[in-house]
Chains A and B, each alone.
Chain A
């Protein structure tokens, strides 16, 4: 089945130690998104790629970076994780950016920062 895959499902890192989260898709969608979902809070968009074009949300901290080496893969890099970065990170994809383009979500990676 075509899907959005996130690895690993659980990630533990140390305070200040760089960490990379991975997302891949078999849907061949143009757009890939990263959302941060803290405990008991709404998912919040960090950034998205439309093909190779990167779009950062204005309030996304500089500590968060992303790479999309090809259509299928997108990575979230956290350069110096702080305790406040512990959260579920959701990857999503869509065909385009129109409201009629359904976003398909992965199962998420839960990040713990020690």
Chain B
């Protein structure tokens, strides 16, 4: 069975600063994919960034980047130049190549960006 663990229930950061959210996972599969989803207060969850396990290069989407350490089974999200609109619950999620759409989510980290 796959598990995803987010050890930081809450984080806070000042506007314009950088913050890193942690995620670890456990799997025996070799073919898998990792995701970070953002769930703003009272709004729908949206995909922030995706990483294929077979790719060594870390994924980047504008101010969002990941640090993927496959051997350590670690997948952290770095948010640069934090903005007030980044305030949200962030979920790390996992999918194997054969899980047919099933996302396994971590517990989530509530991020608050302060002005």
Query: A residues touching B (Cβ–Cβ < 8 Å)?
Result: 4, 31, 33, 40-45, 48, 50, 55, 57, 90, 92, 94, 96-108
Contacts and interface: CB of A to CB of B under 8 A. Distances in A.
Interface stretch (B60-68, B69-77, B80-88, B105-113): B105-113
Given A99-B33, A103-B103, A42 B44 contact: no
Given A99-B32, A100-B33, A102-B47, 18 more contacts: A31-B101, A33-B101, A42-B105, A42-B107, A43-B103, A43-B105, A48-B101, A57-B102, A90-B45, A98-B101, A99-B96, A103-B101, A103-B103, A104-B44, A105-B45, A106-B44, A107-B42, A108-B44
A97 B42 CA distance: 27
Interface string B29-43: 000110001000011
B43 A45 contact: no
Interface of B: 4, 9, 32-33, 37, 42-47, 50, 52, 91, 95-97, 99-108
A107 B91 contact: no
Contacts of B43: 107
Nearest to A4: B44
A99 B4 contact: no
Contacts of A55: 100
Nearest to B6: A42
Contact of A42 (B9, B33, B91): B91
B103 A105 contact: no
Given A105-B44, A107-B44, A97 B106 contact: no
Contacts of A50: 101
13 contacts: A33-B101, A42-B4, A42-B107, A45-B102, A45-B103, A94-B101, A96-B101, A99-B50, A99-B52, A99-B95, A103-B101, A104-B44, A105-B44
Contacts of A103: 47, 101, 103
